[in-house]
Structure 1
Amino acid sequence: MFEKLFHLKENGTNVKTEITAGITSFFTMAYIIFVNPQILSAAGMDAGAVMLATCIASAIGTFLMAFLANYPFALAPGMGLNAFFAFTICGSMGYSWQAALAAVFISGCLFIIITVTGVREAIVRAIPMELKSAISVGIGFFIAFIGLKNANMLKFTIDPGKYQNFDGTIVADASPVPAFNFASASTLLAIFGLIVLAVLYVRNVKGALFIGILVTSAVGCVLQFVFGIDVGVSAPSAGISIPSLAPTFMQFTHGFGELFNFSEGVGTALLSVVSVLIALVLVDMFDTIGTLIGTATRANMLDKEGNLPRASGALLADAIATACGAVMGTSTVTTFVESASGVSEGGRTGLTSCTTAVLFLLAIIASPFLGLVPTAATAPVLIIVGVLMMASVKNINWNDFDTALPAFLTIACMPFAYSIADGIAAGFIFFTITKLFKGKAKEVHPIMYILCVLFILRFIIVM
């Protein structure tokens, strides 16, 4: 049955490898089940309902990825997009969370339209191969940075100095300065996990990432429950309690009136709505495209022209998942960069995604036990995956400045801006500029010019 559905032999894999990869992907991204409700509850949403919506929407999106595209990628409400939802749309812009969900639903419908019409796939094909390689490397750095941060190896202090804005205002105590931290027990556990993974990898042990998570989690449980050393493990709560979805389900329908409230003028209302949609559409689109390209490059899934076969199915899964997520009551659902951990574990087909999706559903009743896998156990996996994704750097011609600069900015801006989309934006803009002024305008696909204008407009709008 699995062979018929997912063509395992054709993709050089087997059931055991795919299931192991799916489990690995789930554990590296399971944090979203707890983090997403924390962020969205800041907008006034019911945390229990959001947790349930997160699990269901993630499962739906990941199942769609498996059956529409047969790819080993998992989906969930995106980090960054959920913060934009809570702190920008509902915070600084003053919309209710119902209106924000309505905006997410509209963006999902727009994604479906531009995917079905082939626009999103055309965008993927318009990206130069060297920028695709840079996206893969940048995502690797981004994943590794997240891993270091989650491992608590980086601490962020506040620079007591002052700096001056362009408008002349003085801002004090606002510059975070990263530094290494090895003082906490959870950090030492993460370092232990990194050593375990390194040993497993150099010994070519099959399932190294998953085994590393299990070993590190087991040591963490012993340290916390036997020796009383806090390493971030949570004891299972008594009993199983499934929250209600009612507080958020279909609540987006109550937000359209507020979103399109023209009482203060049609122009003002439309500008506000358009600014929200541009931000949602561009960030989600390029988070997804970046993750698909970067992870597929790592897995050698791109064809000879550097394009992703069945890209339309993968993009459609992402689009439908966004709309479904809004119906359930969560922020934009997108393809997760942590999917790279499952790919690195050998996942090559939709069976990996199916495994992850099933685990998201099981997490609804097993959530009390997920705390037994601490962040310190999954963070080393992200660091290792970052290392593996560095391989694509060799495909970039560093001697050609008009390619090297945009490639470097793509790579550097992803971790520093903490955004895949912003890294892609920087690379696209400077690729177009350098080619244009070097007299190579014809080497730039027309779609790239359009995207540059949209990215610049987005930066102007959100300033």
Structure 2
Amino acid sequence: MSFGDSLYMFQLKHYQTTVRTEVIAGITTFLTMAYIVIVNPSILATTGMDKGAVFVATCLAAGIATLAMGLWANFPVAVAPGMGMNAYFAFVLVGAQGYSWESMLAAVLISGILFYILTLLRFRHWLVEAIPEPLVFAITCGIGLFIGVLGLKSSGIIVSSPATLVTLGSLHSPEVLLSLLGFLMIVVLDYYRVKGGILISIIAVSMIGALFGISSFHGLVSMPPSLAPTWLHLDINSVLHVSMISAIVTFFILVLFDNTGTMLGLLEQANLHDEVKGKRLTRAFYIESIGTALGALLGTTSLSAYVESAAGIGAGGRTGLTSVVVGVLFFAVLFFAPLATAIPTYATAPVLVYVAILIFRCIVKIDWQEIRVAVPCFITVVMIPLSFSISDGIGLGILSYLIIYTLTGKAKEIPWGLWPIGVLFIGLFFLAH
């Protein structure tokens, strides 16, 4: 089989892309989300889990699931332990509510199995079909705005403030100035249609930072730590207790809507509209569920489609070849951890802001003249970043949609499947808040 034949499965010509574009997109996605191999172990280590083992579990789970996303679903979407879910796992379930990390890993395993069953029963497809199109666009825009906030926060352009929640950061900071430089480089290179502009910006800003001593280089190669401290360390018996039910249900619903909403937003950004109800989406849902179960066995939290995949999509990624590149890099980083950590946040943060702008373009697809549509869409778009939760923003948007359409005498126009989703979110808000 020739090299060209081996790439036929990705349908590069059909999606009007090339091997070079897909490889650059994969590297771009990986660089924007590589922080997870550092941040996830740091968060989960607060529960008593071995940091080195979680690092290995994170790389393996993300690598396997992302490879599967590329080879089986042919989507340019990377999968890794979800940010937000790991914080909920560590700081709420284990830290505040006192569950052991072993019992919570068992809960993650159960949620993965439940995801698989719901996909088998086509519940997640039903969920996708039940959400009205304007809300799908609103979710996409909300995710874009969320990505933008993450980028601005990571770059230091905005910082927390006790008086105003957020405020402008120090524009004298070298990191902020380099982030602004990186953003301008991306915009200008995109204007002149320079291929790989995002990747060029990341590398250039990283090199400038190293040249002026703002960031440092700690070596190239190291052997990965042992996985033994977390491998198969699940307390299955604990999940049989009644006290665990609310924790498992809340965790499950949060992950369900967060994952589904993110996947819809990414497919919209990649212009893969025709795949929203197809076999490839089903395969993607299977991969997320099996990946979550595998992650629990390895020693990490539930896996999710990553919003940072939008960076690779913005760089031109349209097929699973992008994901294959990301998956391979996750395996490689096991042995190149010093190199992976050498890419500073201020170099990747501008990418998120730029991608947020690309995603936010779909806001024009919402009919803002129709007040019954405009209000729930606005709530969805705004509350995703303000609540710092994709699932919370989706829930508030759906509930406002149900209430407004009912009070204006248009209840018959509401898709029947949206009602049980609304009930689920009411229960979720009572349990989680």
Whether 2:3 is the aligned partner of 1:14: answer no
Determine the structure 2 residue equivalent to 1:55.
59
Determine the structure 2 residue equivalent to 1:186.
175
Determine the structure 1 residue equivalent to 2:317.
347
Whether 2:416 is the aligned partner of 1:446: answer yes
8 Å CA contact retained: 2:220, 2:339 = no
Determine the structure 2 residue equivalent to 1:375.
345
Equivalent pairs, count: 429
Whether 2:103 is the aligned partner of 1:105: answer no
Gaps of 5+ in 1: 160-174, 225-229, 262-268
8 Å CA contact retained: 2:28, 2:315 = yes
Residue of structure 2 aligned with 1:258, choices 213, 225, 238? 238
Q: Tell which deviates more after alignment, 403-412 or 237-246.
A: 237-246
Amino acid at match of 1:78: G
Cα shift readout 1:425-459 (whole Å, capped 9, x = no counterpart)? 11111111111122221222222111111111011
- Structure 1 residue 33 displacement after superposition: 0.4
- Listed as ranges, the matches of 1:181-220 within 5 Å are 181-220=170-209
- Listed as ranges, the matches of 1:55-134 within 5 Å are 55-134=59-138
- Structure 1 residue 308 displacement after superposition: 6.1
- Listed as ranges, the matches of 1:156-167 within 5 Å are 156-159=160-163
Distance across 1 between alignment mates of 2:219 and 2:246 = 43
Identity in percent: 40
- Structure 1 residue 179 displacement after superposition: 3.0
- Structure 1 residue 218 displacement after superposition: 1.3
- Structure 1 residue 389 displacement after superposition: 0.6
8 Å CA contact retained: 1:301, 1:308 = no
Cα shift readout 1:68-113 (whole Å, capped 9, x = no counterpart)? 3110000111110000000111111111100010000000000000
Q: RMSD over aligned Cα, in angstroms?
A: 1.5
Determine the structure 2 residue equivalent to 1:432.
402
Whether 2:270 is the aligned partner of 1:299: answer yes
Determine the structure 2 residue equivalent to 1:240.
222
Q: Measured at CA, do residues 309 and 444 of structure 1 come closer, stay the same or move farther in structure 2, by a change above 3 Å?
A: farther
Distance across 2 between alignment mates of 1:358 and 1:68 = 15
Q: Secondary structure at the match of 1:446?
A: coil
Distance across 2 between alignment mates of 1:157 and 1:292 = 32
Distance across 2 between alignment mates of 1:238 and 1:142 = 33
- Structure 1 residue 211 displacement after superposition: 1.2
List 4+ stretches of structure 1 deviating above 4 A.
Answer: 306-309
Gaps of 5+ in 2: none
- Structure 1 residue 257 displacement after superposition: 2.1
- Structure 1 residue 406 displacement after superposition: 0.8
Residue of structure 2 aligned with 1:411, choices 376, 381, 385? 381
Q: Secondary structure at the match of 1:334?
A: strand
Q: Measured at CA, do residues 442 and 156 of structure 1 come closer, stay the same or move farther in structure 2, by a change above 3 Å?
A: same
Cα shift readout 1:256-283 (whole Å, capped 9, x = no counterpart)? 222324xxxxxxx2xx322222222222
Residue of structure 1 aligned with 2:250, choices 279, 304, 324? 279
8 Å CA contact retained: 2:137, 2:363 = yes
Distance across 2 between alignment mates of 1:118 and 1:208 = 40
Determine the structure 2 residue equivalent to 1:322.
292
Determine the structure 2 residue equivalent to 1:29.
33
Determine the structure 2 residue equivalent to 1:167.
none
Amino acid at match of 1:186: E
8 Å CA contact retained: 1:303, 1:309 = no
What TM-score does the superposition give when structure 1 sets the normalisation length?
0.90
8 Å CA contact retained: 2:127, 2:417 = yes
Q: Tell which deviates more after alignment, 360-369 or 306-315.
A: 306-315
What TM-score does the superposition give when structure 2 sets the normalisation length?
0.96
Distance across 2 between alignment mates of 1:405 and 1:441 = 16
8 Å CA contact retained: 2:81, 2:301 = yes
Distance across 2 between alignment mates of 1:277 and 1:446 = 27
